[in-house]
A = this chain, B = another copy of it.
């Protein structure tokens, strides 16, 4: 008999099909009676699989008393109640490393896209404005000071890319990295005053909620650019929109939003922002590698082997 798994969110197609071929998968997200499904699974289901954006709250864990593993498709587990899980002997796994390079690539795509106004240029040509005269000059990335919020795996991969563009680098984080060649700021507003560009690459969750504050964005200023490939929660989104609309913040390039996929209309109408629908890791090879890691973690648990990537 295949081991039962409760699935909290749809996964990358090939991953989900392989999971379904190996296990008895019960999708909670499409269940007609979710409470009934949980009650039915409660006596025997010890594995949950979810996606980073969905996570798993304590309330659902409590309904599955046999639960021993929450395998998360994604590196950010801010939507999983890890503290509750660990306090109750439930392991959590994520999919680190395999998505680092693609997320860093997307950060640079957004950074360059905002600096050189790539979506705006595409609209300019398609709407026929070029026939009436050239597009305005833009800023240059050359010689810019780039401040990275969170010099973890993804932040470091962003920094090494930025270095190829003749930029000056610094980072903000909870502690100085002794092995980093970049300037360290222990205060985000000070880094924003120094920087031309700030890129958020830190984890989400309560520890980083709102750290890109109104004061930080104001310090970045009318010529400043804010790039976010982390989580919408790290920035004071209403303040950001107000400053962008009023010209007190120069531009923004955003892959993530508060309460996505909702994007406020006030943000949608701005010409000085590049918007992207949370695609940091959304490439075919990376999603396949993330899926492989989810499957490997589940297989390791079922076989009684050590988990591959526990949180």
A18 to chain B, nearest CB (A): 17
Answer whether A118 and B125 are a contact pair too, CB < 8 Å, given A101-B142, A165-B161, A263-B130.
no
The count of identical subunits is: 2
Question: Which A residues are within 8 Å of any B CB, using their own CB?
Answer: 12, 101-102, 105-106, 108-110, 112-113, 115-119, 121-126, 130-131, 134-135, 137-142, 160-161, 163-166, 260-263, 268, 274-279, 282-287
Query: When A and B form their complex, which 9 residue pairs have the shortest distance between CB atoms, in order from nearest?
Result: A109-B112, A140-B283, A164-B164, A119-B122, A125-B275, A130-B261, A121-B276, A119-B119, A130-B277
| Contact, CB under 8 Å: B113 / A277 | no
| Contact, CB under 8 Å: A125 / B263 | yes
Q: With A and B bound together, what is the CA distance between A82 and B136 in angstroms? A: 30
A257 to chain B, nearest CB (A): 9
- Contact residues in B for A106 (Cβ distance below 8 Å): 116
Q: With A and B bound together, what is the CA distance between A142 and B284 in angstroms? A: 11
Answer whether A135 and B277 are a contact pair too, CB < 8 Å, given A119-B119, A130-B263, A164-B164.
yes
| Contact, CB under 8 Å: B113 / A118 | yes
Answer whether A122 and B276 are a contact pair too, CB < 8 Å, given A108-B108, A134-B282, A138-B284.
yes
| Contact, CB under 8 Å: A279 / B116 | yes
| Contact, CB under 8 Å: A119 / B116 | no
Q: With A and B bound together, what is the CA distance between A262 and B130 in angstroms? A: 8
